[in-house]
Amino acid sequence: MGEIMDVRYPVKGLYVWFPFGFDVRKRTYAIIRELLDKDHKEALFPLLIPETEFMKEAEHIKGFENEVYWVTHGGKNELDVKLALRPTSETAIYPMYKVWVRSHADLPIKIYQIVNTFRYETKHTRPLIRLREITSFKEAHTVHATWEEAAKQVEEATRIYQEFYRRLAIPTIVSKRPDWDKFPGADYTMAVDTLMPDNKTLQIGTAHHLGSNFAKTFDIKYEDLNGEQQYAHQTCYGISERSIAALISIHGDDKGLVFPPEVAPIQVVVIPILFGKSEEILKACSDVADKLKDKGMRVVLDDSDERPGAKYYKWEMKGVPLRVEIGPRDLKNNAVTIVRRDSASKETAPLDNIIEEIQKRFEDIRENLFVKAKSSLNERIINCGSLEEVKEKISNGIARIPWCGERECGLAMEEAVGAGILGVPEGELGEGAGNCPVCNKETGNMAIMAKTY
RNA sequence: GGGGUCGUAGGGUAGCCUGGUCCAUCCUUCAUGCUUGGGGUGCAUGAGACCUGAGUUCAAAUCUCAGCGACCCCA
């Protein structure tokens, strides 16, 4: 973490991206952009939202009004209409959607933006996870003709997010949030969670079906094929720098950062092993570095005069996926020594074939990181038969337990355990057989519970 | 929401209880030179700090109050 953010900024909940961390952010967000750009357009809406728009949707207001920052003055003059710093952009975007949407031919609209948002968090703030300025909020807002199309888009959103996280080698669980935990103003919320090393889950993506709730308050209507005015149906879905919190925490180890090659600011470090002065070895090292750079790899040649061991620690801490060492022994064999950050394995590879040797390992590393993280997550999903058992084991991971789906039962479960219900996960994880621990009704739904960030 | 602990160089700390011995300790870091070189080389020299404000006092890193900030526990 010390490499990524500077936590010394003198305002609570605001942090500074170091250039190194920003580099990781840039490469991470390039992936989400790549995935979204296939089917979305990127746009940019204002940071300031007039109170008159912000206060239109009752549920939405209830959900956010306690954490809104207000701009009340322009210079010394008090503003007639206060301006909110967006806590999220529905109320900035939807007045424009009202203007933009006229006919069924205008639909669907799929727009995203990557912006900062502000929330006056009263709980403990932490870098990348709970912020007063979310610096990297990727929010998408879509408009559709029908509820069903919007529902499909929510599915598409969670699919995109899972693909995104797979690229980062982060395993995820997708579940439908319980009704009491959905986005304010939504019909329902799908959430993407992952499990952190301390056994708490981190919500790293959400997708909300807004129905026509916002369309009604913001008067977003289209003329259908029959010439009738219809309310539009909407979705929104978001990802933040929590994705980077997960990236760092899940792969990192006691030696420091570990990055999948795709997002690593430095992918290869070349370290010469010198005895006395050796032009020959330095030359071989810079040749290798140049060769890799020509292939577009991000390479550093560390020819500083620290001892090799000191360099190893330094670059390991920075999460460089591969280290290439060249010493007299290697040179004699026309070879290099390649050390992997993810597995610490030390291998000898032929110098002539260096590019392929490196590329092959990049792919292995991403795969290995994902497999490792996935099995670590799976090992910490604990099947439980009773609430007592959940309570006992919840600090060891994610508890899986039957739940009838009723609100009263769910709230009672959360109360009894002192942890949240994430929801009923998609796929096998959410399917099973048993009895709800509260009402004892038979059910095929398995809920997951966890301590959350 | 409630309770608690804390703030000393870039990072980690000693000193605070019992005010003066402190132009503030040690480790790390950084700079320079020599030395060294397949997992944190050694030596020398040097650089760098008492969160902010008010108060008590002859005297404040140390005591009091407030602000800002950090961390922990409980709901």
In whole angstroms, what is the distance from residue A138 CA to residue A166 CA?
A: 18
For tokens 């103003």, the residue is A185
Check residue A1 and give its pLDDT.
60
Give yes or no for residue A2 having a pLDDT over 90. no
Spanning CA of A34 to C1' of B9, the rounded length in angstroms is 45
In whole angstroms, what is the distance from residue A194 CA to residue A80 CA?
A: 44
> For the ranges A103-107, A159-163, A416-420, which has the lowest average pLDDT?
A416-420
In whole angstroms, what is the distance from residue A406 CA to residue A254 CA?
A: 43
Check residue A25 and give its pLDDT.
98
Q: How confident is the model at residue A398 (pLDDT cuts 50, 70, 90)?
A: very high
Give the tens place of pLDDT for each residue, A244-255.
999 999 999 999
User: What ipTM was estimated for this complex?
Assistant: 0.93
Measured in residues, chain A has a length of 453
The token pair that represents A134 in the structure block:
């979310």
Q: Which nucleotides of chain B are near protein (any atom < 7 Å from a CB)?
A: 1, 10-11, 35-41, 68-72, 75
Spanning CA of A83 to C1' of B70, the rounded length in angstroms is 31
Q: What residue has its CA nearest to the C1' of B71?
A: A124
Give the tens place of pLDDT for each residue, A423-446.
999 999 999 999 999 999 999 999
In whole angstroms, what is the distance from residue A285 CA to residue A355 CA?
A: 14
HSE at residue A207, side-chain half, CA atoms within 13 A, is 20
Cα-Cα end-to-end distance for chain A = 17
Question: Is the CB of A180 less than 7 A from some atom of nucleic acid strand B?
Answer: no
Nucleotide closest in space to A9 (CA vs C1'): B69
Spanning CA of A11 to C1' of B50, the rounded length in angstroms is 22
Give the tens place of pLDDT for each residue, A295-322.
999 999 999 989 999 999 999 999 999 9
Question: Is the CB of A342 less than 7 A from some atom of nucleic acid strand B?
Answer: no
Domains along chain A with CATH numbers: 5-251 (3.30.930.10), 268-361 (3.40.50.800), 382-450 (3.30.110.30)
HSE at residue A34, side-chain half, CA atoms within 13 A, is 9
Question: Is the CB of A125 less than 7 A from some atom of nucleic acid strand B?
Answer: yes
Check residue A277 and give its pLDDT.
65
Give the tens place of pLDDT for each residue, A175-207.
999 999 999 999 999 999 999 999 999 999 999
Region A208-221: mean pLDDT is 98
